[in-house]
Amino acid sequence: MTASAEVVKIALLALVTGAVLPLLVQLFLTLRAMRLAAERVETRLDKILDDVSELADGVKARAAAPSALGSTLAAAVPAVLAAVQAFRTSFHHPPDPTASGEGHVDNAIREHGQAKERSHEQ
């Protein structure tokens, strides 16, 4: 090989090294920044998942052991429904006024209902 070929080789090698070296440094810095960001995200994500697990455990514990309010409501709902049904039934089928001492109240309710029906018919 001649001296000019050696000079061209060295020049090309210097050019490639000059272009590749900054790219490698930039790649290293970018990868390091990504790794640090991933570690920060992982730490935050672990904390969030721990909080969600605690909340889920609390919900499971409350669902497994019903509170006193829940059991009271469960017992009261059928009683309230029965009372409402009895109230509605008393309007549709009023009791016999001779059976109790409050016949005048029942008669007034019945007369009011009949008057209401007549007004709707007109």
Same domain, yes or no: 7 and 54: yes
Same domain, yes or no: 100 and 59: no
Confidence of residue 86 (pLDDT cuts 50, 70, 90): confident
Across the chain, mean pLDDT equals 80
pLDDT tens readout for residues 21-57: 999 999 999 999 999 999 999 999 999 999 999 998 8
The SS3 of residue 114 is helix
pTM (global) more than 0.75? no
Q: What is the mean pLDDT of residues 62-70?
A: 72
Same domain, yes or no: 36 and 72: no
End position of a domain, from candidates 65, 81, 103: 65
pLDDT of residue 36: 96
Same domain, yes or no: 83 and 26: no
Enclosing H/E stretch for 109: helix 103-121
Give CA–CA dist 96/90, Å, rounded: 11
| Contact between 114 and 91 (Cβ < 8 Å) | no
Owning domain of residue 48: 1-65
